[in-house]
Structure 1
């Protein structure tokens, strides 16, 4: 892979915010020419596929300002500095759904938008949900509503583009594949 490597000559920080850092890098390309790369630095995120005892998937609906609309998604959130992904997963599950768990299974991780961002998303699954006696308060600026759907209902939401983000589409595809494997 070294033959495609770009060497950073200079980095200019544009913005350092609560969630992302923006920078522009001057790079030398493999052919020796110069170019600029606009980059988003992100601490990473975690998403959870929570399955209830009656085999429904717990989703959250929330408004997404960049899209100017609400989306239905699996619970997810940003990694805090130094925080292990499993801890983030449980924290977000509790804050967003009112459930907790003592058992998480790692599914996969992937880069969300490698053309311009370094965000790494970790996906976990649990079917060992316990309802919290005292719900945990979420972020002050986050407003979510939970809903529970069967896998068939979730697939229908994908077709209708009510579920329309990569991590949630991945989760549904993963569950669909598990269902097909288990029926063989």
Structure 2
């Protein structure tokens, strides 16, 4: 048994979209009482720390509607049904940046918001980048600008809150701790 496990009594499916689904679960608590949990279900995602030969991190700037502003982020995207994280990482790196990597290494995986969502991001680092001859087409509704930034620039962007999401903040810390950027 899992410590403090909450057993689901009933699930009420509220919404099924192309990126998420929403449900409300009635659960039995460890003390025998019941409660409700509002859950966001997500297929999972990948994010890629891509470092150029010049020691810069490849990032993209894009508008994020929930925050009503643009953010600078590492390349990332959601897993397609049945797709392995490594495959998603290769695809997203190419679609968003036009780069491919000779070697893609898994760093870690982590939950983004475990209080209400089951999304897990699988983080990779891309080594030995090269520009693809014909870039894969990205999503029709996705508009991004490619950036290549130094460690100082990335840290300044964090202070300015241009880098403001957890996966990218983690990537910058990881890059600093491992001497990946100039």
TM-score bracket, normalised by the shorter chain, equals: over 0.9
Aligned pair count?
180
The match for 2:134 is 134
The match for 1:49 is 49
Asked if the contact 2:13–2:22 (Cα under 8 Å) also holds between the matched residues in 1, the reply is: yes
TM-score normalised by L of structure 2: 0.96
Find the aligned partners of 1:100 and 1:3 in 2 and give their Cα distance: 43
Find the aligned partners of 2:137 and 2:25 in 1 and give their Cα distance: 39
Find the aligned partners of 1:177 and 1:10 in 2 and give their Cα distance: 45
TM-score normalised by L of structure 1: 0.95
Structure 2: runs of 5 or more not aligned: none
Task: For residue 66 of structure 2, give the secondary structure of its aligned residue in structure 1.
Answer: coil
- What is the aligned-residue RMSD (CA, Å)? 1.1
- Structure 1 range deviating more: 129-138 or 46-55: 129-138
- Structure 1 range deviating more: 93-102 or 166-175: 93-102
The match for 1:33 is 33
Task: For residue 67 of structure 2, give the secondary structure of its aligned residue in structure 1.
Answer: coil
The match for 1:175 is 175
Structure 1: runs of 5 or more not aligned: none
Structure 2 counterparts to residues 60-71 of structure 1, below 5 A: 60-71=60-71
Find the aligned partners of 2:163 and 2:19 in 1 and give their Cα distance: 23
Q: CA deviation at 1:150?
A: 0.6
Q: CA deviation at 1:127?
A: 2.5
Q: CA deviation at 1:136?
A: 1.5
Find the aligned partners of 2:80 and 2:27 in 1 and give their Cα distance: 29
Q: Runs ≥4 in structure 1, deviation > 3 angstroms?
A: none
Asked if the contact 2:102–2:127 (Cα under 8 Å) also holds between the matched residues in 1, the reply is: no
